[in-house]
Amino acid sequence: MGELKDRAKGLANEAVGNVKEGVGKMTDNAKLQAEGLAQQAKGKTQQAAGKVKGALGDDI
């Protein structure tokens, strides 16, 4: 269960981060763009954690 939860959170963070980055670019808001990139990186990390849990089991 933890695997799916981590992967879902990761996908959500990547999606929200992508939107933030796009809005930051369109509005020339460097801070919002940076927040979006950071949130996307967080999402990728969460997805990676989910993949590891899936490979090793949820008990890690």
CB atoms within 10 A of CB 55: 9
**What's the rounded Cα separation, in Å, for the pair 29 and 52?**
35
- For the stretch 15-18, contacts whose Cβ atoms lie closer than 8 Å and that sit 24 or more positions apart, written own/partner, are 15/43, 17/41, 17/42, 17/43
pLDDT attached to residue 3: 86
Domain edges within the chain: 2-56
> Tens of pLDDT along 4-58?
899 999 999 999 999 999 999 999 999 999 999 999 999 999 999 988 888 887 5
Query: pTM for this one?
Result: 0.83
pLDDT score, position 60: 54
> CA–CA separation, 47 vs 33, rounded Å?
21
